[in-house]
Structure 1
Amino acid sequence: MLIHPWDAARDTAEWQDWLAAHDFGQLAVNGLPGEPPFVQPMHFAYDPSPGGPFGEVLAHLARPNPLWPALDANPEVLLSVVDDYAFVPGPWQAPPGAPPEHGTPTSVYAAVQLRCTAHVVDDPEEKATLLNRQVGHFQPPGLSETVAVGEAPYGRLLSGIRGMRLEVTDVRAKFKYAGHKPEEVQDRIAKGLADRGGLRDAAALAVQQRRRQEA
């Protein structure tokens, strides 16, 4: 992923705060010899607090998932999260004083890539603890029963999954929102997103405006 200086996260807090609100991504696992990589869409819970500068990711997948042999062979993986994206038509990006048709179409988006070392969790007690932490991220307290080994309603299901602790070893974060463009162009993009009101335009506009205010 190419990251220009104006697209880079300003500090660790920026990408961590963004990731706290974006918890669905794609896990890329190196394939076995002669096979392409596995790419697994999944929900996850990011925890910035464990040891190391980047924290860890908690997730689980079904035991029959075909990626496990590849993960066991090579635990170095990449978790990719992309959101708050929108298409920007060319006229919105036209240089000041230039005809609208001279503008170049582009995309705006936020992307965080976490390089991780995967630790597979198979011990039932450890899996229960991992699931409680992960589910606790998504569901309000009291909405579901605590996972406990051998106890209903989830204890009997533990054998059907494997847990993952992804130890984050490196991070690449990009916030591509035309931060290097003249103010006139940035204003035009902001107005275009607000006026168009597409499915993801409001989220993209919010990130663009936040980064402009923090510049």
Structure 2
Amino acid sequence: MLIHPWDAPLDDTEWQTWLAAHDFGQLAVNGLPGEPPFVQPLHFAYDADRGEAVTHLARPNPLWPALEADPRVLLSVVDDYVYVPGPWQAAPTCPSENGVPTSFYAAVQLRCTAHVVDDPAEKADLLNRQLGHFQPDGGSSRAAPGEAPYGRLLSGIRGLRLEVTEVRAKFKYAGKKPEEIRNRIGAQLARRDGPGDRAARDHLVRRQGT
């Protein structure tokens, strides 16, 4: 992922705050020799204090042999994306039809070392950490080996601890454009008010002048 200086996060707090509210991504696992990579959509819980993300997958998932052969993986999260028509970006001295269209988006990529979790007690702890993230107000039983309702289901999954070794983040929201064009894009996003437009405009305004 190319990250220009004007698209880089302002600081670690920016991408960590964004990631805390975006807990669904794609896990990319290197394929076995001669095979393409595996890309697995999944929910995960990111723990900034521990520097890891936790998740789980069904035991029959075909990615396990590749993951065990090479535990280096990439967890990719992309959201708040919109299409920006060319006329919105046109320079004041050019005809609007000559403007260049682009995409706005936020993205965080976590390069990780994957640790497979098969011990029943460790899997239960991992699942409870996920429940604590996704259901902080409770409402579900806790997982415990040999205990209903989830104990008998533990054998059907394998847990994953994704130890983060590198973070790459990008907030592509007209960071290099002059204020006049950014204001125009912001106004057009507010007027269009389609899927993703409000979140994209919020990023545009928040990063204005940085």
TM-score (norm 1): 0.96
- For 2:144 and 2:63, the matched residues in 1 are separated by 26
- 2:184 maps to 188
Q: What is the deviation of 1:210? A: 1.4
- For 1:144 and 1:32, the matched residues in 2 are separated by 38
- For 2:26 and 2:153, the matched residues in 1 are separated by 24
- 2:3 maps to 3
- 2:45 maps to 45
**Aligned residue runs from structure 1 range 1-215, under 5 A:** 1-50=1-50, 55-212=51-208, 215=210
- For 1:126 and 1:78, the matched residues in 2 are separated by 23
- For 1:163 and 1:13, the matched residues in 2 are separated by 28
Q: What is the deviation of 1:98? A: 1.9
What SS does the aligned partner of 1:144 have?
coil
Q: What is the deviation of 1:191? A: 0.7
What SS does the aligned partner of 1:194 have?
helix
- For 1:19 and 1:140, the matched residues in 2 are separated by 17
What SS does the aligned partner of 1:212 have?
coil
* Gaps in structure 2 of 5+ consecutive residues: none
Q: What is the deviation of 1:142? A: 2.6
Q: What is the deviation of 1:88? A: 0.2
CA contact (8 A) 2:71 2:115 kept: yes
- For 1:208 and 1:165, the matched residues in 2 are separated by 34
- For 1:78 and 1:209, the matched residues in 2 are separated by 30
Q: What is the deviation of 1:31? A: 0.3
**For each residue in 1:68-105, what CA deviation from the matched residue of structure 2 results, as whole angstroms up to 9, or x when unmatched?**
00000000000000000000000000012321111100
Q: What is the deviation of 1:141? A: 2.6
Counterpart amino acid of residue 177 in structure 1: Y
- For 2:113 and 2:41, the matched residues in 1 are separated by 18
CA RMSD of aligned residues (A): 0.9
CA contact (8 A) 2:91 2:181 kept: yes
- For 2:8 and 2:138, the matched residues in 1 are separated by 39
What SS does the aligned partner of 2:208 have?
helix
**For each residue in 1:106-142, what CA deviation from the matched residue of structure 2 results, as whole angstroms up to 9, or x when unmatched?**
0000011110000000000000000000111011333
- For 2:101 and 2:137, the matched residues in 1 are separated by 45
Count of residues in correspondence between the two structures = 210
Which stretches of structure 1, 4 residues or more, deviate above 4 A after TM superposition?
none
TM-score (norm 2): 0.98
- Identical pairs, percent: 74
- For 1:10 and 1:207, the matched residues in 2 are separated by 12
Counterpart amino acid of residue 80 in structure 1: S
